[in-house]
């Protein structure tokens, strides 16, 4: 069984993306709590950065805290997953209203370019999403989110 650290993006005073009356921080928390339950049902250990609508540091600081915890080996995480439900929008010149940018719609999994296991996990998650009818952008993007 594996040890996961999950992170529901944003929280508290940081709502993340907002679209109409939907706040990203609420979606992130709802999905992460459901994901945590599913991982536990399958016998995995789960640590999480937040279980309620509380403020936690920005993504860079979260990564530093998780990495510091991870490097101390208490516990040593097999995977760290940060979930975001971002939105890309632009302001319409004609109406002045914000509109969703459909060109950047979709699902993507970001992983550390230094981690082969992270790449494989991200691809597996992206493939699972694709098989369940979710539009996947580029099959996953490569970037350094969390240093190993
Ligand atoms: Zn976000």
Rounded to the nearest angstrom, the distance between the alpha carbon of 35 and the centre of ligand 1 is: 17
What confidence tens digit (pLDDT) does each residue in 71-113 have? 776 777 888 888 888 777 778 888 887 777 766 666 777 777 7
Rounded to the nearest angstrom, the distance between the alpha carbon of 80 and the centre of ligand 1 is: 16
Q: Which of the two residues, 60 and 50, has the higher pLDDT score?
A: 50
CA distance 104 to 90: 11
pLDDT of residue 141: 43
Is residue 55 predicted with pLDDT exceeding 90? Answer: no
pTM over 0.85: no
How would CATH label the architecture of 3-104? 3-Layer(aba) Sandwich (3.40)
Contacts of 18 (CB under 8 A, 6+ apart): 24, 87
Rounded to the nearest angstrom, the distance between the alpha carbon of 48 and the centre of ligand 1 is: 16
Mean pLDDT for the chain overall: 79
CA distance 60 to 49: 13
Rounded to the nearest angstrom, the distance between the alpha carbon of 8 and the centre of ligand 1 is: 9
Rounded to the nearest angstrom, the distance between the alpha carbon of 32 and the centre of ligand 1 is: 13
3-state DSSP assignment of residue 96 = coil
Rounded to the nearest angstrom, the distance between the alpha carbon of 17 and the centre of ligand 1 is: 6
44-48, 60-64, 100-104, 109-113 — which is least confidently predicted? Answer: 100-104
3-state DSSP assignment of residue 98 = strand
Rounded to the nearest angstrom, the distance between the alpha carbon of 88 and the centre of ligand 1 is: 11
Is residue 24 predicted with pLDDT exceeding 80? Answer: yes
pLDDT of residue 12: 92
Rounded to the nearest angstrom, the distance between the alpha carbon of 55 and the centre of ligand 1 is: 13
CA distance 69 to 48: 12
Contacts of 105 (CB under 8 A, 6+ apart): 88, 135, 137
Domain positions in the chain are 3-104, 106-148
Q: Which residue spans within the chain are E strands per DSSP?
A: 3-8, 18-19, 22-23, 45-48, 79-83, 89-91, 98-100, 110-111, 141-142
């Amino acid at each position: 069984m594996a040890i996961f650290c999950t992170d529901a993006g944003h929280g508290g005073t940081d709502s993340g993306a907002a679209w109409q009356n939907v706040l990203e921080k609420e979606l992130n928390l709802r999905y992460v709590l459901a994901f945590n339950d599913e991982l536990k049902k399958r016998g995995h250990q789960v640590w999480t950065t937040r279980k309620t609508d509380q403020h936690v540091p920005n993504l860079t600081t979260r990564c530093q805290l998780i990495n510091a915890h991870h490097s101390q080996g208490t516990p040593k995480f097999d995977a760290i997953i940060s979930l975001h439900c971002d939105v890309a929008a632009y302001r319409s010149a004609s109406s002045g209203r914000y509109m969703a940018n459909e060109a950047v719609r979709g699902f993507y999994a970001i992983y550390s370019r230094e981690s082969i296991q992270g790449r494989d996990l991200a691809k597996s998650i992206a493939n699972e999403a694709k098989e369940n009818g979710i539009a996947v952008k580029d099959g996953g993007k490569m970037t350094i989110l969390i240093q190993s």
